[in-house]
């Protein structure tokens, strides 16, 4: 358990294992805790660095405007702080957006890129999409973190045997700082690096749940723009694939990382 200072903000990270460095970046409203099923497996063969994004978990929560580029700057600073060479970066949801930003801003920096249930832009392009954005922003502002966590738990883990996962989400979501959570949500809406992803030359694995928020076809479309990317679909999974399908996810991730050693 360690911290480093990045422009006046204390960034929390965990650093375990030995070998090639792997950086894990969580999603909106989450933390390093959501990689609990991945870290023990990955640290057998890799040096694993899991980070709490600014405004989340045990990292600082400065009162400021957040942005995906600034989140990516924090990860770049962590890479420099730890003197990492060609790290493998894995990001889920908002963490995937941060990973995309890091990759396009720093050509040649990464050993590989893994994007989980995410994409290179969040730009509403239809009336329906705009209405969804407005709905989400309003609900996020007017509902309590407890209410959001309960609703999210039911959405991500609807099956009876997933009660323990629903409980995890409900308990963890309440620990968020509401102001920082909203600032991070605002950072996502309207963000895009879609026009730049063809410049990402490192090996890239895109993992999509078959029941993710956005359809598999969306991932197929952007993967086609990337010269060294491939898509893997995990069945019977929703947006939190590392939690609801950990064995399948871990195996796919380890196979990919081992293939580029």
- CA 89/CA 25 separation, integer angstroms: 8
Identify the pLDDT of residue 143: 92
Per-residue pLDDT, 244: 97
Q: What is the pLDDT of residue 99?
A: 98
- Alpha-carbon gap, residue 146 to 16, rounded angstroms: 32
pLDDT at 135: 80
Average pLDDT along the chain: 95
Mapping DSSP to helix (H, G, I), strand (E, B) and coil, where does residue 50 land? strand
Q: How many Cα atoms sit within 13 Å of 32 on the Cβ side?
A: 20
Over the stretch 168-214, which tens digit does the pLDDT of each residue have? 999 999 999 999 999 999 999 999 999 999 999 999 999 999 999 99
Give the confidence band of 140 by pLDDT, cuts at 50, 70, 90. confident
Rounded Cα distance, 207 and 25, in Å: 14
Percent of the chain with pLDDT over 90: 91
CATH fold for the domain made of 2-122+192-259: Rossmann fold (3.40.50)
pTM, two decimal places: 0.96
Is 80 exceeded by the pLDDT of residue 134? Answer: no
- The average pLDDT across 240-249 equals 98
Sort strands 229-234 and 88-92 into parallel, antiparallel or unpaired.
Answer: unpaired
Q: How far apart are CA 150 and CA 233, in angstroms?
A: 27
* Three-state DSSP state, 159: coil
């Amino acid at each position: 358990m360690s911290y480093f200072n990045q422009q006046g903000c204390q960034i929390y990270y965990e650093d375990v294992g030995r070998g090639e460095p792997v950086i894990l970046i969580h999603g909106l409203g989450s933390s390093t805790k959501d990689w609990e099923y991945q870290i023990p497996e990955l640290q057998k063969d890799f040096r694993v660095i899991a980070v709490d994004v600014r405004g989340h978990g045990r990292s600082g929560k400065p009162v400021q405007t957040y942005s995906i580029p600034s989140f990516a700057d924090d990860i770049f600073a962590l890479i420099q702080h730890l003197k990492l060479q060609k790290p493998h970066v894995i990001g889920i949801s908002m963490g995937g957006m941060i990973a995309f930003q890091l990759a396009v801003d720093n050509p040649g920096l990464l050993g590989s890129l893994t994007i989980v249930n995410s994409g290179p832009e969040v730009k509403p392009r239809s009336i329906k999409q705009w209405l969804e954005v407005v709905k989400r922003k309003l609900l996020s502002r007017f509902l309590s973190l407890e209410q959001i966590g309960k609703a999210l738990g039911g959405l991500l883990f609807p099956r009876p045997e997933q009660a323990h996962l629903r409980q995890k989400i409900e308990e963890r979501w309440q620990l968020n700082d509401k102001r920082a959570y909203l600032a991070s949500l605002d950072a996502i809406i309207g963000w895009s690096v879609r026009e730049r992803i063809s410049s990402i030359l490192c090996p890239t694995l895109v993992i999509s749940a078959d029941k993710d928020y956005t359809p598999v076809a969306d991932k197929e479309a952007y993967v086609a723009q990337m010269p060294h990317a491939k898509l893997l679909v995990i069945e019977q999974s929703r947006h939190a694939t590392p939690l609801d399908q950990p064995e399948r996810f871990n195996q796919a991730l380890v196979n990919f990382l081992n293939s580029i050693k």
